[in-house]
A and B are shown apart, each in its own frame.
Chain A
Amino acid sequence: MQLSKNNGSLSNGASDNAGAFSLSDAELLDKAKTIRRHIVEMVGKAGSGHPGGSLSAVEIVTALYFRALRHNPKNPQWADRDRFILSKGHAAPVLYAALAECDYMPVEELSTLRQLDSRLQGHTDMTTVPGVEMSAGSLGQGLSFSVGVALAGRLDKRNYWVYTLLGDGECDEGQVWEAAMAAAHYKLDRMIAFVDYNKLQIDGWNKDVMNLEPFTDKWRAFGWYVIEIDGNDFGQVFSAIDSAKKVSNQPKMIIAHTVKGKGVSYMENNVDFHGKAPNEEEIKKALKELK
């Protein structure tokens, strides 16, 4: 089932909510499925890419673009828009799929992923795709970038929110913790970050490659307000965002427990599908599961 684009109503309420989509709960579940199908199809067509960490983040990204975020696809540079900064740039497919479903670009363009001269680069490029806020791909830089965006918002007295999505493996990078310190130091309470805590990176489980635990304690010790949720559950994502917004004077971290490869049985918790495309048969199987 191909959902029509823009099936979310554009709210016409308060001006600070201009451009926001607000899908119903049922519509959101459908949208998540559509986005998962796009991910499988586009990575499959490209013959390479990162399905695992894209699929684990579908609920977070869908919740943001189709309800939580104030944004306007007709005016991607709208100065007061909320920002979504994808720090783990290899999860580009989930972002591209969400942007296309919001009409930042035609859905058909998704099939050009990773091809020569496509706007859809293997890792996000802010200069080619409207709606992409940061050029990423080298892990560990997005939280710092978000600090800069939040500082600018404060200087300009704009009250946009800065959402950031980090990978758990990405948190091995020292720069993430430099940024964590800076965000708390500058009391950047317009920052709401997520860690897509799917427990897997490339070489295996976090606990075997480089242990992150006690993870929430670390963020708390760095001065962040921490909420722990099931990140594949829309209800929990929204209530976490709601409670995060109520906390002032400190940045907020939502540790989102997720399943890598979520929604495609043979990809779930399978590290092989971190950076491997499904073959034709696997694509068919996945699409059947995602009907």
Chain B
Amino acid sequence: MLESTRDAYAKALLEVGRKNADIVVLDADLAKSTKTITFAKEFPDRFFDCGIAEQNMMSIAAGLAASGKVPFASTFAVFASGRCFDQLRVSIAQPGLNVKVVATHGGITVGEDGASHQGIEDLALISPLPNFTVIVPADSVEAAQAVEAAAKTQGPFYIRMSRSSTPVIFGDDYEFSIGKSVTIRDGKDAAIIAVGIMVAPAIEAAERLTADGIDCRVINMATVKPLDEEAILKAAAETGCVVTAEEHLVRGGVGSAIAQVVAENQPVPMEFIAIERNNAKSGKPELLLERCCLTDSDIEQAVRSCISRKG
């Protein structure tokens, strides 16, 4: 089954909105794309379109949060992170206000809209901001639960959703918890730590590697900040090599954050599946993933090469 995380966002927003009358939603003329339109239709009085003015939207959200509301503010990942970085930093992060930034259209799988619309630096921008929890759900089930968790947890959140429909990985019994990674598949020869839409190809790669007798662990690191350091170090110690996989620039991405944890505490060979250069282009999402070396075969190769570097 396929479903986009932004569609899951729309449904989850309705759920949390029905339970908590303090939840309000802001958008910047993209409600049909971010899917906040669903909330707007049911709760027109609690929805504020700010027009194409993202910076204004973020500071308005801060004012709402300072007055007891629980604002969800949505736009594309490029605009949510880049266009309003200073507003996130000063209006929201520094005072630790209870604003939930849900950015859709993260990564290159935005596709045909091309470079200006592909958010591939957002995690590097948001992760250093104080007080922010950063989540990249792997599928629609996790996306919905992340929205619920954010609604219930005090403090600023950045949640990155995708435009494209992606495989549903988790069942109804799945339980997301902030800051806790999930080991989807155990293994002792190597560990793949994946985030977002890269979790599905990571599972695929691990399964393929079993044909050659390679036993590969797959970890879903949905909470990018704070990182589940315990799981990272356990994986490094028990498997002896770590491959990270993310739909983000390699510089400043999740891989580099994980590498810092590994290098400091449990140095082992690492390889990074991520976007090497800012070579974003228009094209079909699948073709872009191939072009940027973000496929299951790329992960598979990285695992083999990483294992060969073990001492």
A interface vs B, CB < 8 Å? 79, 125-127, 133-138, 140-142, 144-153, 155-156, 174-175, 178-179, 181-182, 185-186
B52-110 residues at the A interface, CB under 8 angstroms: 53, 55-69, 71, 86-87, 89-91, 94-96
Closest A-chain residue to B69, C-beta based? A152
Residues of A within 8 A of B89 (CB): 138
Give the number of residues in B that approach A within 8 Å (Cβ atoms). Answer: 31
A26, B42: Cα distance in complex, Å: 55
Can you give 28 contacting A-B residue pairs, CB < 8 Å? A125-B95, A134-B91, A135-B94, A138-B90, A141-B55, A141-B90, A144-B55, A144-B56, A144-B58, A144-B63, A144-B91, A145-B59, A145-B60, A145-B66, A147-B59, A148-B62, A148-B67, A149-B63, A149-B64, A153-B67, A156-B67, A174-B55, A175-B53, A175-B59, A178-B50, A181-B51, A181-B53, A182-B60
Query: Which residues of the other chain, B, contact A175 by a CB distance below 8 angstroms?
Result: 53, 55-56, 59, 87
Collect the chain A residues with CB atoms within 8 Å of residue B67's CB.
148-149, 152-153, 156
Q: Which residues from chain A contact B64 at a C-beta distance below 8 Å?
A: 148-149, 151-152
Evaluate contact between A136 and B63: CB separation under 8 angstroms: no
Q: A133 vs B24: C-alpha distance in the bound complex, in angstroms?
A: 20
Q: Which residues of B contact A174 (CB under 8 A)?
A: 55
Contact B87 A141 (CB under 8 A): yes
Question: A207 to nearest B CB, angstroms?
Answer: 26
Q: How far is the CB of A16 from chain B (nearest CB, A)?
A: 18
Q: How far is the CA of A126 from the CA of B95 in the complex (A)?
A: 7
Assess the B65–A155 pair: CB atoms within 8 A. no
Query: Bound complex: CA of A149 vs CA of B58, how far in Å?
Result: 13
CB atoms of B60 and A144 under 8 A apart: yes
Alpha-carbon distance A291/B86, docked complex (angstroms): 42
Q: Return the contact of A178 from the options B46, B55, B96 (Cβ within 8 A).
A: B55
Nearest 5 A/B pairs, CB to CB: A148-B63, A144-B59, A152-B67, A178-B56, A178-B53
* Contact of B59 with A141 in the complex, beta carbons under 8 Å: yes
* Chain A: minimal CB distance from B105 (Å): 22
Assembly CA distance A217 to B94 (angstroms): 35
Quick one: which of B31-54 are within 8 Å of A by CB? Answer: 45-46, 48, 50-51, 53
A182 & B53 in contact (Cβ 8 Å cutoff):
yes
CB of B39, distance to nearest CB on chain A (Å): 15
Given contacts A150-B63, A181-B53, 15 further A-B contacts (CB under 8 A): A135-B95, A137-B90, A138-B89, A142-B59, A144-B57, A145-B63, A148-B59, A148-B63, A149-B66, A151-B60, A152-B63, A152-B67, A156-B68, A175-B59, A182-B51
Residues of A within 8 A of B58 (CB): 144
Determine how close the nearest CB of chain B comes to the CB of A165; give it in whole angstroms.
15
Across-interface contacts of A135 in B (CB, < 8 A): 90-91, 94-95
Task: Specify the chain B residue showing the minimal Cβ separation from A147.
Answer: B60
Q: Which residues of A contact B68 (CB under 8 A)?
A: 79, 152, 156
In the assembled complex, how far is the CB of residue B51 from the closest CB belonging to chain A, in whole angstroms? 7
Interface centre among B64, B65, B89 (most CB of A within 10 A): B64
* Nearest opposing residue in chain A for B67, CB measure: A152
B residues in contact with A156, CB < 8 Å: 67-68
**Are B96 and A127 neighbours in the complex by a CB distance under 8 Å?**
yes
Separation of A149 and B63 alpha carbons in the complex (Å): 5
| A150-B48 Cα distance, complex, nearest whole Å | 13
Rounded to whole angstroms, the CA-CA distance of A151 and B45 in the bound complex is 10
Nearest to B94 among chain A residues (CB) is A135
- Choose among B69, B87, B96 the residue that contacts A155 (Cβ–Cβ < 8 A): B69
How many angstroms from the CA of A125 to the CA of B90 in the assembled complex?
10
- Among residues of A, the one whose C-beta sits closest to the C-beta of B45 is A155
Assembly CA distance A136 to B92 (angstroms): 10
| Minimum CB distance partner of A145 in chain B | B63
Q: Which chain B residue has the least Cβ–Cβ distance from A146?
A: B63
Whole-angstrom distance between the alpha carbons of A182 and B51 in the complex?
A: 8
* Chain A residue, CB-CB nearest to B91: A141
Complex Cα distance A181/B55, Å?
13
Contacts of B90 in A (CB 8 A): 135-138, 141
Residue with the greatest number of chain B CB neighbours at <10 A, chosen from A136, A146, A149, A181: A149
Are the C-beta atoms of A151 and B95 separated by less than 8 Å? no
* Cα distance A127–B62 in the bound complex, in angstroms: 13
Question: B residues within 8 A CB of A144?
Answer: 55-60, 62-63, 87, 91
When chains A and B are docked, how far (Å) is the Cα of A133 from the Cα of B267? 46
How far is A133 from B65 in the complex, measured between Cα atoms in Å?
12
Cβ contacts under 8 Å, A153 to chain B: 67
Find chain B residues with CB under 8 A from A79 CB.
68
Q: Determine the distance from Cα of A23 to Cα of B50 in the docked complex, in whole angstroms.
A: 40
Neighbouring B residues of A133 by C-beta, 8 Å: 66
Nearest CB in chain B: distance from A203 CB, A: 20
B59 with A179: CB separation less than 8 A: yes
A182 to B64, CA, bound (A): 14
Q: What is the CB-to-nearest-CB distance from B68 to chain A, in angstroms, rounded to a whole number? A: 6
Chain A CB within 10 A, most for which of B57, B63, B66, B86 = B63
- Let me know if A147 and B63 touch, CB within 8 A: yes
Set of chain A residues within 8 Å of B65, measured between Cβ atoms: 148
Nearest CB on A from B56, distance (A): 4
User: Do A182 and B24 touch (CB < 8 A)?
Assistant: no
